[in-house]
Amino acid sequence: MLRSLTSRAVTVTFRAAAISHLRPCVLASTSLAPVPNPSASHQIRHYSAKPPLTFRTVEDRIMLVLGCYDKVDRAKLSMDADFVKDLGLDSLDHVELIMAMEDEFGFEIPDGDADEMKTPRHIFKYVCDREDVFA
């Protein structure tokens, strides 16, 4: 208890000293700077499409995500390796991999479709169909 109070007091003291040291610089620079008028005419939104995917980039991204997963042995990893039989993953690991693929490609994979994905090649085919990937 005493240790945490002492630690908190030291933190507050150092923070106050740092802020008081910076305060004149911040006040001087902001008081001289003009304040922009946030009108609608100055707000511009830029749109762009996602970069086009090729078969090679999809395959590389899938293998990268799987290779970064700590429970996957990189020596056994291939496009046709079964998640359960070859890589020794359980159902929770499979769910985590599917979630990682969703994060990587930016769309949600329904549970019914995710249950059918037993190999990286299944994920590859699903992503290519979903994202209209061409050569």
The answer to whether the beta carbons of residues 87 and 118 sit under 8 Å apart is: no
The answer to whether the beta carbons of residues 133 and 53 sit under 8 Å apart is: yes
The answer to whether residue 111 is catalytic is no
What pLDDT score does 132 carry? 81
Catalytic choice (60, 73, 90, 103): 90
Superfamily for 73-133? Answer: ACP-like (1.10.1200.10)
Q: Is the dihedral of CA 82, 87, 88, 90 positive or negative?
A: negative
Res 18 pLDDT > 70: no
Dist. CA 102–CA 85, nearest whole Å: 23
Q: What is the pLDDT of residues 90-114, one digit of tens each?
A: 999 999 999 999 999 999 999 999 9
- Phi, psi of 75, deg, nearest 5: -65, -30
pTM of full prediction above 0.75: no
